[in-house]
Amino acid sequence: MKIESCELFETRFPMKAPFRTSFGAETNRRILLVKLQGDGITAWGECTSADAPLYSYETVDTCRYVIKTFLLPNILGKSFADIPGLRQTWAEIKGHNMAKAALEHAFWDGLAKERGVSLSSLMGGTRDKAAAGISIGIQESIPKTVEVVDGFLAQGFQRIKLKIMPGWDVDLIREVRRRFPKIVLTVDANSAYTIDQADTFRKLDEFGLLYIEQPLAHNDLIDHATLQSMIKTDICLDESIESVEDARKAFQIGAGRVVNIKSGRVGGGYESIQIHNLAQEKKIPVWCGGMLETGIGRAYNLGLASLPNFSMPADISPSFRFYVDEIVDPPLIPDARGEYAVPQGIGIGVAVQEQAIRKSMVSHEQFQK
Ligand code: OSB
Ligand code: MG
């Protein structure tokens, strides 16, 4: 596909309810959307960066800046026959994975459209269903959490993930486990603890969690390996894995036994597939994480989650859970058994409603060679 033009839409989607994690609450989400055009094809991508550098150092503004200043000038007006060709243009640019992934993401959609195939099949997907898990933010009380969990279980979600932080952990999980003895339950600390708080995780060992996600620092592997050797429950790495090289090192030292793959965090679908493949070779299960995406990002995640080693439920709740406005058609919704149909249409497999995007748009820029 030839990249004749690129448009950046900055949108603002008020959240129906704040999504609270150990690092803060998201209430009003700015989201950068990318539209590429060329050879008669229109392709879309979503940048997974948040407004503030709390999950990682990237922000909506750093992504926009890096895309405009360093990534686009090397690709505008050029044709790329495959993903490695595109990635080669930014091979020497360090970090800024979410900025790179936003462009790569749109290009995957474009390439799939050029070849007349679904994103899932272009990525090497082997299944047409993906199991849905749900990530539940920090609530005002334990009884309220129990009520929220109950509601999502009734909707069919196959795995419940609860955000934890110091002071909001063992008592919470004890009660949720008491009320729901059989459910698949996980926790996500978003790096809120240090290794000297290992005792908390020893206590969590008794609740039969599927895994404990990112207990320690966002850029740590060493302490995670120490912690993993001290507890029975598997550690799942999220923030700490930004590349296949990170994954290789993590597996080598035993820093975790599960990986949450988020395409934005690792710089795109190509790197995600490398991590998926290495993990498969090492018999490490992976699952597809989420970053509160709109339908565009969720559709992309479903394509990725159709690869064979995505063997645990994804963080893919429908985007109407967070946002009033839907920007893709048809909206992606799991069935009553908590399964999504992986889109089989060409490209990301859902139609993007530019009209709806423009309704929520706060700025728009167009770049052409
Ligand atoms: O750590 O998995 C995380 C959302 C924003 C930032 C970090 C995380 C999350 C989630 C995913 O838990 C929720 C979702 O997209 O449904
Ligand atoms: Mg996480």
- Tens digits of residue pLDDT in 154-177: 999 999 999 999 999 999 999 999
Identify the H or E element spanning 80: none
**Token pair of 305 as six digits:** 């989650």
For residues 209-232, average pLDDT:
98
For residues 14-37, average pLDDT:
95
> Which residue, by CA, sits nearest to atom 5 of ligand 1?
291
Residue 67 DSSP symbol: I
Neighbours of 250 (CB within 10 A): 25
Q: How far is the CA of 190 from the centre of ligand 2 (A)?
A: 6
Atom of ligand 1 nearest to the CA of 316: 16
Q: Are 206 and 180 in contact (CB under 8 A)?
A: no
Atom of ligand 1 nearest to the CA of 262: 2
The C-alpha atoms of residue 87 and residue 75 are separated, in whole angstroms, by: 10
Q: How far is the CA of 215 from the centre of ligand 2 (A)?
A: 9
Which ligand has an atom closest to residue 213 CA? 2
The C-alpha atoms of residue 132 and residue 282 are separated, in whole angstroms, by: 24
Q: How far is the CA of 318 from the centre of ligand 1 (A)?
A: 13
Task: Find all residues with CB under 8 Å of 327, minimum gap 6, and list them.
Answer: 294, 295, 296, 352, 353, 356, 357, 360
For residues 88-92, average pLDDT:
98
Residue 360: the pLDDT is: 95
For residues 296-322, average pLDDT:
97
Q: How far is the CA of 35 from the centre of ligand 2 (A)?
A: 27
Atom of ligand 1 nearest to the CA of 238: 1
Angle at 287 between CA 205 and CA 236, to 5 degrees: 35
Q: Are 58 and 218 in contact (CB under 8 A)?
A: no
**CB-based burial, 168-183: b 16+ in 10 Å, e otherwise:** bbbebbeebbeeeeeb
The C-alpha atoms of residue 343 and residue 60 are separated, in whole angstroms, by: 28
Atom of ligand 1 nearest to the CA of 322: 16
**Token pair of 271 as six digits:** 């790197």
Q: How far is the CA of 84 from the centre of ligand 1 (A)?
A: 28
Atom of ligand 1 nearest to the CA of 321: 16
- Residue 285: burial class (beta carbons within 10 Å; 0-12, 13-18, 19+): middle
Residue 273: the pLDDT is: 98
What ranges in 291-339 are assigned the alpha helix state H?
295-304
**Token pair of 223 as six digits:** 């302490």
> Which residue, by CA, sits nearest to atom 7 of ligand 1?
291
Residue 369: the pLDDT is: 87
Which ligand has an atom closest to residue 291 CA? 1
Task: Find all residues with CB under 8 Å of 182, minimum gap 6, and list them.
Answer: none
Angle at 254 between CA 92 and CA 229, to 5 degrees: 145
Q: How far is the CA of 188 from the centre of ligand 2 (A)?
A: 6
Residue 165 DSSP symbol: B
pLDDT digits (tens, 9 = 90+) for 221-257: 999 999 999 999 999 999 999 999 999 999 999 999 9
Whether 140 shows a pLDDT value over 90: the answer reads: yes
Q: Which among 369, 367, 291 is positioned nearest to 68, based on CA atoms?
A: 367
Which ligand has an atom closest to residue 19 CA? 1
- Annotated catalytic sites, by residue? 163, 262
pLDDT band at residue 134 using 50, 70 and 90 as cut-offs: very high
Q: Are 227 and 233 in contact (CB under 8 A)?
A: no
Question: Looking at this protein, which amino acid is placed at residue 164?
Answer: I
Query: Over the chain, what is the mean pLDDT?
Result: 97
- In the three-class reduction of DSSP (H, G, I as helix; E, B as strand; rest coil), residue 225 is classed as helix
Q: Are 109 and 338 in contact (CB under 8 A)?
A: no
Residue 348: the pLDDT is: 98
Q: What is the pTM of this model?
A: 0.97
Q: For ligand 1, which residues put their CB under 6 angstroms from it?
A: 55, 135, 188, 190, 238, 289-292, 315, 317
